[in-house]
Amino acid sequence: MTDEILLDADDRMDKAVKAYEQTLATVRTGRANTRLIEHVQVDQYGQRMALNQLATLNAPEATLLTVQPWDKSAMNSIMKALQASDLGITPQSDGNIIRLPIPPLTEERRKALVRQVHQKTEEARVAVRNVRRHAMDELKTELREGEVSEDDEHRAMNEVERMTHDHIEQIEALAKDKERELLAV
């Protein structure tokens, strides 16, 4: 039973790291990346849809993103959604393609984005620690119910701590890479 708890905890910690990695991809750097706009929600066909479900997204240049709607009637909805998003980029349309020029980041904006990365990093650490707490509680319950010995519980708790440490190190490495990328001029 402890093996199941350990496998579940490891799986959930892996998912927390993956979610953090995806969150970091949405943080804008000085380069164009389609992941910046994939998450933008557009009101179309009577429902909210992700932008990548309505259009082809491209990054033809290092400082330009393009959005080509599959249905031209969605153009205005996409423009409104992009303008309302928190990207801070003004879209330009020629009737067929929406262009999003990525302006260079100012020093002040870079520092604000680094603070945002630190905040998201702490949220990811908390998510991993919550998985650890949950696994530890399950192990203690198993001990109380007499399903595992104290030695097995102790070994499993040490394993959970090791997994937690490894996953937090992964998160820290991802954060350092993103911070380095943001501060590179």
Under the banding of pLDDT at 50, 70 and 90, the label for residue 30 is: low
- Angle at which helix 107-144 crosses helix 150-183, to 10 degrees, equals 170
Residue 8 has pLDDT above 90, yes or no: yes
Distance CA 78, CA 128 (A): 36
Summarised one tens digit per residue, pLDDT across range 62-102 is 788 888 888 888 888 888 888 887 777 788 888 888 888 88
- Determine the longest span between alpha carbons in the chain, in angstroms: 70
- Give residue 24's pLDDT band: very low, low, confident or very high (50, 70, 90): confident
Cα–Cα distances (Å) from 181 to 23, 30, 121, 178, in that order, read: 15, 9, 15, 5
Q: List, for residues 112-165, the tens digit of each pLDDT value.
A: 888 989 999 999 999 999 999 999 999 999 989 888 888 988 999 999 999 999
Residue 54 pLDDT > 90: no
41 CB-side CA count, 13 A: 4
Residue among 98, 25, 87 at smallest CA distance from 58: 98
CB of 98 within 8 A of CB of 67?
yes
Name residue 112's beta-bridge partners.
none
pLDDT value at position 185? 62
Residue 181 tokens, joined: 């990328």
How far apart (Å, rounded) are the C-alpha atoms in residues 182 and 52?
A: 25
Q: For the chain, which domains are there?
A: 2-26+106-183 (1.10.132.20), 35-101 (3.30.1360.40)
Query: What single letter denotes the amino acid at residue 134?
Result: H
